[in-house]
Amino acid sequence: MLTLKILREQPEFVIERLAVKHFDAREIVYKIIDIDKTRRSLQGELDNCLSEQKAKAAEIGSLMKAGKREEAEAAKAAVAALKEKSRQLDEQMAESQKTQNDLVVLLPNLPCAEVPEGRTAEDNVVVKMGGTVPELGEKALPHWEIVKNLDIIDFDLGVKLTGAGFPVYKGQGARIQRALISYFLQRNTDAGYLEYQPPYMVNEASGFGTGQLPDKEGQMYHAPLDGFYMVPTAEVPVTNIYRDVILQRGDFPIKMTAYTPCWRREAGSYGKDVRGLNRLHQFDKVEIVRIEEPENSYKALDEMVAHVESIVHALGLPYRILRLCGGDMSFTSAITYDFEVFSAAQKRWLEVSSVSNFESYQANRLHLRYKDENGKMQLAHTLNGSSLALPRILAAIIENYQTPDGKIIVPEVLRPYTGFDIIG
């Protein structure tokens, strides 16, 4: 979340930057400032009250020793009145603090200066393209038909077991899924990311720490009896490893990777864009997370983008990298680069990764700090990226590598992990 310092000192700058995300922050920002003034006034009054209370309490013993019983009793009554006043001030402060916090978490992160103007995905900026779109011919099939013919992914069985958006991978379909996960993790660990295997459910504090709660509560699967949430991405448990942690400068950079299944309701999605593997409620994803000093976070972002690009390139898929416009960015991001691969049979681009710098926004929610060279506490910067999300990567591989006789050629880099060259 945004710091009170920037809200107090640069309210118009905050309002101006959030307008890039098409978020009207004026009313909330000035409400927060007014509440903060009240809270600070109450704090000053409370401090004075406690100081007076301490002084009066110290008088009582002296007055009793001097035999001034009436004056001592009057001092006791004054202390009792001051205690009651302190209690009331404390309650008012707590109420003001809660109201202030409830408002601050409604404000998205500020987009950085490089974020382009725009409202929708149509306004995103393509910054790079790579790979070659294969010529498949008129008889090319979309992946949902190919996998049905080969009996390697069963969408109907998933509906029977759970519901739409929960496919069942079978035989070579399950093996290439496992191969992709292993390959992505190997590439990440080779690049210096420490592998974790985190829980697949998180508590409310973890969801709040990375900004999924309260913003995306409706998209998350919830186990209310226990208060747990199914992870929508490994970013949530992995980043929260460092919640309430104070780092030293020598701890940086912190580089982590993890595979998890992910769950999202994806409400409001209809039509051809949700067919097959295009949009699921349960899917597999490998994530990379970094924690950096502020002055190094944008260099780290460039490194993460280059790393994800190297993996997509190695799979031999046509891709493009987009810098998201303000209206298409997430609530928590300061800047995001999306990776899309081209699905040759569907003739459309499929998003497979988002790489984002959150600057200090998540760190403030996480209370993730470090001591700078002067020993002063500072907020760290957090970053994360998909490397990669499997469903659409697999969809693109199935379609782009299909053969005229209905089989699928396995990309060369995956063959040591699959143990076979051809599916079918």
Q: Is residue 312 part of a domain?
A: yes
Type of residue found at 115: V
CA distance 34 to 215: 24
Percent of the chain scoring above 70 in pLDDT = 98
185: Cβ contacts below 8 Å, ≥ 6 apart: 195, 257, 259, 286
Confidence at 409, pLDDT banded by 50, 70, 90: very high
pLDDT at 112: 97
User: What's 145's domain CATH number?
Assistant: 3.30.930.10
Q: What angle do CA 277, 153, 171 make, to 5 degrees?
A: 140
pLDDT at 271: 55
Percent of the chain scoring above 90 in pLDDT = 87
pLDDT at 270: 53
Average the pLDDT over 266-283 and give the result: 78
In the chain, the largest separation of any two C-alpha atoms, in whole Å, equals: 108
223 and 129 fall within a common domain: yes
Alpha helices in 105-150 (DSSP H): 143-150
Own/partner contacts of 408-412, CB < 8 Å, gap of 24 or more, are 408/146, 408/150, 410/176, 411/314, 411/315, 411/316, 412/316
Among 61, 77, 104, the domain boundary falls at 104
Give yes or no for a contact between 152 and 168, defined as CB atoms under 8 angstroms apart: no
Nearest to 335 by CA among 298, 376, 283, 295: 298
Average the pLDDT over 34-58 and give the result: 92
Q: Given a cut of 80, is residue 61 above it in pLDDT? A: no
Among 69, 104, 139, the domain boundary falls at 104
52 and 168 fall within a common domain: no
58 and 161 fall within a common domain: no
Q: Please classify residue 232 by burial: count the beta carbons closer than 10 Å to its beta carbon, then call 0-12 exposed, 13-18 middle and 19+ buried.
A: buried
373 DSSP β-pair partners: none
Q: Is residue 267 part of a domain?
A: yes
Q: Is residue 195 part of a domain?
A: yes
Q: Given a cut of 90, is residue 98 above it in pLDDT? A: yes
Mean pLDDT is lowest, of 119-123, 133-137, 156-160, 173-177, for 133-137
Nearest to 324 by CA among 335, 312, 332: 335
177 and 321 fall within a common domain: yes
165 and 99 fall within a common domain: no
Q: Quote the mean pLDDT of the chain.
A: 95
pLDDT at 272: 56
254 and 328 fall within a common domain: yes
| Angle, helix 172-190 to helix 390-400, in steps of 10 degrees | 120
pLDDT at 267: 56
95 and 134 fall within a common domain: no
Q: Is residue 289 part of a domain?
A: yes
User: What's 55's domain CATH number?
Assistant: 1.10.287
Answer whether the bond into residue 253 is a cis peptide, omega within 30°. Answer: yes
Q: Which residue has the tokens 């300061």?
A: 334
Q: Is residue 109 part of a domain?
A: no
Q: Is residue 111 part of a domain?
A: no
Q: Count the domains in the chain.
A: 2
339 DSSP β-pair partners: 321, 353
pLDDT at 56: 84
Structural domain of residue 98, as residue ranges? 4-104
Strand order in the sheet with 319-323: 125-130, 319-323, 335-343, 348-359, 381-389, 282-292, 254-263, 194-196
296 and 254 fall within a common domain: yes
Among 41, 72, 104, the domain boundary falls at 104
Q: Given a cut of 60, is residue 191 above it in pLDDT? A: yes
Give yes or no for a contact between 235 and 384, defined as CB atoms under 8 angstroms apart: yes
290 and 184 fall within a common domain: yes
Mean pLDDT is lowest, of 264-273, 353-362, 398-407, for 264-273
8 and 149 fall within a common domain: no
Nearest to 396 by CA among 182, 176, 154, 187: 176
Q: Is residue 268 part of a domain?
A: yes
165 and 257 fall within a common domain: yes
| Angle, helix 172-190 to helix 297-314, in steps of 10 degrees | 140
Type of residue found at 18: L
Positive or negative: CA dihedral 20, 22, 27, 31: negative
358 and 248 fall within a common domain: yes
Q: Is residue 110 part of a domain?
A: no
